Amino acid sequence: MPDSTNTRRWGLVAVLLAAAGTFALTMGTRQSMGLFLGNLNTATGLGLGSISLAFAFGQLWWGITQPFAGAMADKVGAGRVLLVGVSLVALGTFITPLMTSTTGLIVAIGVLSAGGAGMAGPAVLMATTARMIPPDKRGLATGIVNAGGSIGQFVMAPIAGALLVGLGWVSAMQLMGLLVLLALPAAWVLRGGPAPAAPGAAAAAAPVGTKQAIATALRDRSYKLLAAGFFVCGFHVAFLATHLPGVIASCGLPVQYGAWSLAMLGLFNVIGSLAIGWAVGRWRMKSLLSLVYAARALAVLAFLLAPKTGVVMLAFAAVMGLTFLSTVPPTAGLVAKFFGTANMATLFGVVMLTHQVGGFLGAWLGGKVFEATGSFDWVWYIDIVLAVGAALIHLPIREARLVRAAA
């Protein structure tokens, strides 16, 4: 029995490392691409608005890919989907420096790289982890997987910045693409089936077809409110990931602050992701989501009023990091709580699509507003209003109160 327990424990560790490691490499690479935006603009002469469109299309395509990738993973297993996804991220990133037109950048950044990252993204990774981890450990497990993306950003952004300075932007971007291939072994680890249910856990709901599952979810008011709130998260995250280096450069600070600000986002999102994963089992998830969105609004308001020094930028990035992707574990948790895990990859993928529609607007509007006004201020104003709305829209979600065990 002890050997069986140890084997199971190490199996769970392998699942978490594989899922978190995959998210670290794909997310870390994609979230570092904002560092190359200025170089792409200089090399192609297309203008910030056109290049932002390619990044924005990538945000949207990442979201569109996830419901289909989730449905595919629900049917054929996550291993094959992840294998294709990781390979596409590497290919798209590697050929991006070779593109000289807006269409070419959309294909490389928006279709290949973003589509591959969608196939190897949170919809597939979270659902696969939820199925392979006992129910009583899912909250913390999704927090760990989510933290993997943040660790990837913390590690990959400084690497990208160093490569950019040492090798030039073309070699740096292509090497970043090759690094993604380190995630390929995770496809084998995550090919397995669900873990046995924890003692006393409720029986899983009987599986239904993909179309029926989506139709049922779209009739649920709480599910639609959850998706609407996640739209706001996408706007916020994509704007920061794409334009934070530009915000810093517009304040006259060196490029290193851009790289380290992205790294601070990643580092502090590790803390935020693990904390929210721990909190999911102790407080209602809708309340946690309202708190996260309200904190974002207050943080952006404080940033607008503060002097734009290097220390302020790093502190702002750290605060944003605490809330950056900490919405993902409670959002995924609510989807599983509403509908079970049988079709979770598909249903969470649909929610991720709304997230990326917001991401498209955040990435695209950032470039357009800056071109029109010479400042990012109006995007920050929109972000504050949306964050307040998201904090409020989660309150009517119908989520059962937690049943706490007697002392």
Terminus-to-terminus CA distance in the chain, angstroms?
Answer: 29
Output the CA–CA distances (angstroms, integers) from residue 283 to 229, 274, 289, 330, in the order listed.
18, 14, 11, 10
pLDDT tens-digit map of 115-166: 898 888 777 887 777 777 776 676 677 777 777 777 787 788 788 888 888 8
263 versus 304: the higher-pLDDT residue is 304
pLDDT-derived band at 10 (thresholds 50, 70, 90) equals low
pLDDT-derived band at 204 (thresholds 50, 70, 90) equals very low
Q: For residue 101, what are its two tokens?
A: 């037109």
Contact yes or no for 362/239 (Cβ under 8 A): yes
pLDDT-derived band at 201 (thresholds 50, 70, 90) equals very low
pLDDT-derived band at 73 (thresholds 50, 70, 90) equals confident
Long-range contacts of 172-178 (CB under 8 A, 24+ apart): 172/36, 173/33, 173/36, 173/93, 173/94, 173/96, 173/97, 174/93, 174/94, 174/97, 176/29, 176/32, 176/93, 177/29, 177/89, 177/90, 177/91, 177/92, 177/93, 177/94, 177/96, 178/90, 178/94
Q: Considering the chain, what percentage of its residues have pLDDT values greater than 90?
A: 12
Identity of the highest mean pLDDT range in 7-11, 53-57, 74-78 = 53-57
CA–CA separation, 344 and 371 (whole Å): 40
SS3 199: coil
- The structural domains of the chain, ordered by start, are 11-185+208-393 (1.20.1250.20)
Contact yes or no for 68/353 (Cβ under 8 A): no
Contact yes or no for 54/144 (Cβ under 8 A): no
Alpha helix ranges (H) inside 112-254: 114-119, 122-132, 138-167, 169-180, 184-189, 210-218, 221-250
User: What H or E segment, with its residue span, contains residue 55?
Assistant: helix 48-76
What average pLDDT score do residues 23-37 get? 82
Residue (of 176, 178, 185, 134) closest to 155 by Cα position: 176
Identity of the highest mean pLDDT range in 56-60, 207-211, 293-297 = 293-297
66, pLDDT greater than 70:
yes
Q: Determine the pLDDT at residue 391.
A: 92
Block residue for tokens 């002392």: 407
Q: What is the DSSP letter of 47?
A: -
Burial class of residue 43, CB neighbours in 10 A (0-12, 13-18, 19+): middle
pLDDT-derived band at 57 (thresholds 50, 70, 90) equals confident
Rg, C-alpha atoms of the chain: 20
pLDDT tens-digit map of 175-199: 988 988 988 888 888 875 444 444 4
8 versus 187: the higher-pLDDT residue is 187
Mean pLDDT of the chain: 80
pLDDT-derived band at 327 (thresholds 50, 70, 90) equals confident
pTM confidence score:
0.68
